[in-house]
A and B are shown apart, each in its own frame.
Chain A
Amino acid sequence: MAAATMMPYFGQQMSSKSELVPDWTSQEVSTGTTIMAVEYDGGVVIGADSRTTTGAYIANRVTDKLTPIHDRIFCCRSGSAADTQAIADVVTYQLGFHSIELDEPPLVETAANLFRASCYRYREELTAGILVAGWDRRKGGQVYCVPIGGMLVRQPVSVGGSGSSYIYGFMDSNYKTSMTKDQCLELTASALSLAMERDGSSGGVVRLASISEDGVERRVLLGDQLPKFSTH
């Protein structure tokens, strides 16, 4: 768990940087990112790009930002890679324990609240924007948004990460209530492609997953399979 005390940021200013070691080796690893989650009747569709950057260098070009928290609950991670990985590990443990106590599959709302609890308590130390999405028996497909700062809100469709700024217009105009699963997958793939085209910190492949009562279906769209929008 991250310490709750405020640590002065001496490390970055103090160390006399050697000229031999380039700048990006000292930058924190961030998932620049575009992430998205959409509800449909009977489940959710989630998607993410696959780029992790340290400064201007791409540390991992095939990252999996769709992290399983439980059998039917996933989270989409954006922000600091270390922070989101650590939080996801903690919540996975807490939710697994809770589920065994209940002897029942956990609710998506519970998972979202566990994320919110960690993100809000340590809000000064963390940089984590998370989308929690999944299916449970009580409310079906649900998407919860836990942005930086630790707010929790349920939304039928949500985007996140640095690339999301470029696709709010696309989302507002193209999302309609009561879409089918395939329409959601198409919408997500298109939105992510558009964002990856414009945002330098997003790119690579598009990872998609659809979660329903029947289980999780995962797919990867490689470069040539991405929907194309420019004609030149």
Chain B
Amino acid sequence: MATLVISQSPVGGFSFENCKRNAVLEGEANKVGCSLPAARKTGTTICGVVFKDGVILGADTRATEGMIVADKNCSKIHYISPNIYCCGAGTAADTEMTTQIISSNLELHALSTGRLPRVATANRMLKQMLFRYQGYIGAALVLGGMDCNGPHLYSIYPHGSTDKLPYVTMGSGSLAAMAVFEDRYKPDMEEEEAKRLVRDAIAAGIFNDLGSGSNIDLCVITKGKLDYIRPHDEANKKGVRRVNELEGDRPTGDYKYKRGTTGVLSKTTLNLEVVEETVQTMDTS
């Protein structure tokens, strides 16, 4: 006998059912003294600049989880289409998935139109999706690319507002990077000059902002050519351990002290007598 099932049509948007539960859990965790794990955010400095022949996007490579560096060399410049790339700041998962979704939709769109996708299309898709989620998707993006109408650069904020500008910066290090841009940006720069400018802007973010660090990635997009330079500049190379000077010329540094470095004043030996020994196996299956 068939039972009658009344199906509820799925409600769009996020489900906030677990928020009350999470709030209770957080309260209880705080009482004990620990805190809930934080979403991994890319502290970040990302920027973009329009130069004579195209667009250059730049990003640092540090991903933080609270005060700890979760990833020393993460890639923040995401592929959207062969002629469009997007840097992402904010919650790492959100930027990754948002750019992937729009990249997939844009490819289908391009197959449908039979044309190379335009940056304005990607911008529309991104802003409409982010607005739909009312800022709950924490993705702040710098979208840049080259299409039939020339080079374009957009900054897209988590709530869904966009700005079309010749130079933009985003992320926690954006103030440092913007200072560099405001000082040295000129319209119609040559490629090398523009690459230096972007490199210096990201470097300003890396060295003056705690949320940004490690290396500098660059992406140069021009008509018919794409240069994804990762890394462009290893600004923070891990040092080699110094040779222990007391040892002389040992090839790999060793931080152990040689026996005899500390003088021994007295020695007492306690002989421990083994009374009983039992072995209890643990089920590790």
Contacts and interface: CB of A to CB of B under 8 A. Distances in A.
**A and B found bound together:** yes
Interface of A: 2-3, 5, 7-8, 10-11, 14-16, 18-22, 25, 28-29, 52, 54, 57, 59-60, 62-63, 80-83, 85-86, 89, 125
B119 to A, nearest CB: 16
Given A52-B163, A80-B159, A82-B160, A21 B43 contact: yes
Interface residues of B, number: 44
Given A14-B22, A15-B39, A85-B161, A25 B131 contact: no
Contacts of A28: 135, 157, 159
Given A10-B16, A52-B161, 13 more contacts: A2-B131, A3-B13, A3-B134, A15-B39, A16-B36, A18-B43, A20-B64, A20-B211, A57-B175, A60-B165, A82-B161, A86-B127, A86-B131
Contact of B210 (A20, A25, A57, A82): A20
Contacts of B32: none
B159 A20 contact: no
A7 B134 contact: yes
Contacts of B155: 59-60
B58 interface: no
Contacts of B172: 20-22, 25
A62 B159 contact: no
26 contacts: A2-B132, A3-B13, A3-B134, A5-B13, A7-B14, A8-B16, A8-B19, A11-B136, A14-B19, A14-B23, A14-B26, A16-B38, A16-B66, A18-B66, A20-B43, A21-B41, A22-B172, A25-B90, A28-B135, A59-B163, A81-B157, A81-B159, A82-B159, A82-B160, A82-B161, A86-B160
Interface in B20-47: 22-23, 26, 35-36, 38-39, 41, 43
Interface string B172-185: 10010000000000
B162 interface: yes
B171 interface: yes
Nearest to A31: B161
Interface string B140-180: 10000000000000010101111101000001100100000
B12 interface: yes
Contact of A82 (B19, B89, B157): B157
B41 A18 contact: yes
Interface in B112-149: 124, 127-128, 130-132, 134-136, 140
Most chain-A Cβ atoms within 10 A of its Cβ — which of B128, B140, B161?
B161
B64 A18 contact: yes
B159 A63 contact: no
A68 to B, nearest CB: 14
B127 to A, nearest CB: 7
Contacts of B64: 18, 20
A52 B13 CA distance: 28
B264 interface: no
Interface string B73-93: 000000000000000011000
Task: Give the 9 A-B residue pairs with the shortest CB-CB distance, closest first.
Answer: A81-B161, A20-B211, A82-B159, A82-B161, A82-B160, A10-B19, A60-B163, A16-B38, A29-B161
Contacts of B163: 52, 59-60, 63
Contacts of B26: 14
A63 B163 CA distance: 8
A3 B12 CA distance: 8
B67 interface: yes
Contacts of B41: 18, 21
Contacts of B135: 11, 28, 82
A14 B155 CA distance: 26
Contacts of B23: 10, 14
A27 B16 CA distance: 21
Given A3-B13, A82-B131, A21 B211 contact: yes
A30 to B, nearest CB: 9
A81 B171 CA distance: 18
Contacts of A19: 67
Nearest to A17: B38
